[in-house]
Structure 1
Amino acid sequence: MSDPTLPQPHHPYKVMAVYKFADLPDAETLKTPLAQFCCNRGIKGTLILAPEGINGTVSGTPEAIDALADFLFASGPFGTRLTGAEVKYSFADTAPFLRMKVRLKPEIVTLRAPEANPSQQVGTYVEPENWNALIERNDVVLVDTRNDYEVGLGTFQRALDPKTESFVEFKDYVAKNLDPARDRRVAMFCTGGIRCEKASSYLLSQGFEEVFHLKGGILKYLETVPEAESRFAGECFVFDERVSVGHGLELGTATLCRACRHPLTPDDRQHADYHEGISCPHCVGDAAKHAAAAERQHQMDLAKKRGASHLGDDAMTDAAERRQAKKARAEQSRLANKLD
């Protein structure tokens, strides 16, 4: 189990990002005890279980997240199967997630390529402090394995952008743009390292000889490498309410369009097609999304006026309390009419 990488105890929320390719044929039976453990401690976020392992990001109080780490790596039903998992910790002032989900899926990162088996073969891990020297070599092809909207916020200098909308498209990109006879050395990176486990295994299965990937991904690089020495330009997209982080894993400047979920830079939010909560330059012209977003924004505004939550577990609690109060008022009215 890793120690906290950013010891900032004054922040109320501790965030754990974890993944491990491991043999979990009992993933289905593990789902309920894992969900109950998290919900009982107020932990929120998403964890994916599959026969090939675990992947996800959650947050909670530091005490709750430390207890979860013990549950996953030592005392819980996983036994020692998750030993050596890639774990990253960070801290936040506000809750990054709204609810807790434990999902069962066929893969913890979807590529739909059975020949890509990280439990059997993966590329060569490169520590963040050695990454700059590798990617500055002229004989290394550098590939960003993330999707187009993630690359748009920030990437490494000289990196190729596959322009994929989903990771399953990465196979087509490799077939059309990379050649094992020509591209003898390929270096890859992603957000936290998990996609590169699959991607590097896939490239090796296709005959590529030397495949490297950034250990711990961009997040570990931004945490480890001094900003003055960084080759990463921009911010790193993350899949929670923070949207993006910068060097030192500090909160970034990006927000999400509530209509299309595309990350927005400060320049995007100055665009004439940007309307908060309704539309952005990336979804202009999509009337259906704009109408749905406008209604969502209206409901959020109403919830704010009531002092209630609109999204997440708190919203469900607020809604249940309102329903109960409405029933109580109806019952009081019925009794009053009966007495009259």
Structure 2
Amino acid sequence: MNSVLNISAYRFVGIADPLALRDRLAPRAGVLGLLGTILIAREGINLFLAGAPEAVRTFLDDLRADGRFTGLEAKESWSQRQPFRKLLVKVKREIIRMNRPAIQPAAGRAPALDAATLKRWLDDGHDDEGRPVVTLDTRNAFEVDQGTFEGALDWRLRKFSEFPAALQAHATELAGKTVVSFCTGGIRCEKAAILMREAGLDHVWQLDGGILKYFETAGAAHFRGHCFVFDERELLDARLAPANADQDSGCGGV
């Protein structure tokens, strides 16, 4: 029985005192018995947590009571056992490192595309204005190797901070196309989409909620393999279940 609730969530929002937030959240998560990682920076918060359902939801309710995180959406999945070994609450320079401090999602997001619309565009082979659609995987190469969208662009990134240089090298390939950047939960593709728009690409979207939200809405459509996650489950299938628990997941081969 899957009794452990796993969540991933992030929000780009100005945090003037990350240390104070860390000192408030760390003991609260500990008291609730949660394990996982909470990253805090001046640009926002990024968290991956797991525990008893009531404890996870209590923590989220507490977090959302802070006006900066009202309406924070969390992507949920379930597992039979705790996938994390410890709780880490860390303050960092960026919640996802790009080394481009001018990219500030809290100041304005790139347009977000919902999963149902992406599936329809991929079904049709073009967007609503007839432009060809390309999906751009902004994850690291080893993650891409476990599964990605059919025909997705893969720039063989070793780490996300390589994305700006890769964009400069490949920007001409994207001209005249509708580009949908995607990642696991939305955080990397959000920064990537902003950078692409600032580089002069006109038709750029981010996949809202990333692969995990797409799985919730569209299942395995147009996706081959599994989604890599940074915990002991390692791979999730389109049901958001650990892929190694059932290799006949219907998600296609890795």
TM-score normalised to structure 2 length = 0.89
| Percent sequence identity over aligned pairs | 36
Give the one of 40, 45, 51 matched to 1:49: 40
RMSD: 1.9
Which structure 2 segments of 5+ residues have no match? 246-252
In structure 1, the residue matched to 2:15 is 24
What is the 5 A alignment of 1:126-141? 126-135=113-122, 136-137=125-126, 139-141=132-134
Give the one of 30, 33, 40 matched to 2:24: 33
In structure 2, the residue matched to 1:232 is 223
Which structure 1 segments of 5+ residues have no match? 1-9, 255-266, 269-340
SS in 2 for 1:187: strand
Does residue 176 in structure 1 map to residue 169 in structure 2?
A: yes
Give the one of 46, 49, 56 matched to 1:58: 49
In structure 1, the residue matched to 2:195 is 202
Cα pair 1:236 1:246 within 8 Å, conserved: yes
Within 1, Cα distance between the matches of 2:115 and 2:233?
Answer: 23
Within 1, Cα distance between the matches of 2:239 and 2:67?
Answer: 31
Aligned residue type for 1:97: F
Structure with the greater alpha carbon radius of gyration: 1
Residues 35 and 88 from structure 1, CA distance in 2 versus in 1: closer, same or farther, beyond 3 angstroms? same
Paired residue total = 241
The CA deviation at 1:54 is 0.4
Within 2, Cα distance between the matches of 1:174 and 1:103?
Answer: 29
Higher relative contact order by CA 8 Å / sep ≥ 6: 1 or 2? Answer: 2
Provide runs of 4+ in structure 1 moved above 3 Å. none
Give the one of 181, 206, 224 matched to 1:213: 206
Aligned residue type for 1:96: P
Does residue 73 in structure 1 map to residue 60 in structure 2?
A: no
SS in 2 for 1:178: helix
Give the one of 83, 89, 98 matched to 2:85: 98
Within 1, Cα distance between the matches of 2:201 and 2:63?
Answer: 35
Cα pair 2:175 2:201 within 8 Å, conserved: no
Does residue 85 in structure 1 map to residue 78 in structure 2?
A: no
In structure 1, the residue matched to 2:249 is none
Residues 168 and 222 from structure 1, CA distance in 2 versus in 1: closer, same or farther, beyond 3 angstroms? same
Give the one of 236, 240, 252 matched to 1:249: 240
Identify, as 1 or 2, the structure richer in helix.
1
Give the one of 101, 125, 133 matched to 1:114: 101
Within 2, Cα distance between the matches of 1:12 and 1:132?
Answer: 31
SS in 2 for 1:253: helix
Within 2, Cα distance between the matches of 1:83 and 1:201?
Answer: 23
SS in 1 for 2:154: coil
TM-score normalised to structure 1 length = 0.68
Identify, as 1 or 2, the structure richer in strand.
2
CA displacement, residues 240-272 of structure 1 (integer Å, 9 cap, x when unaligned): 110010011011139xxxxxxxxxxxx99xxxx
Aligned residue type for 2:72: A
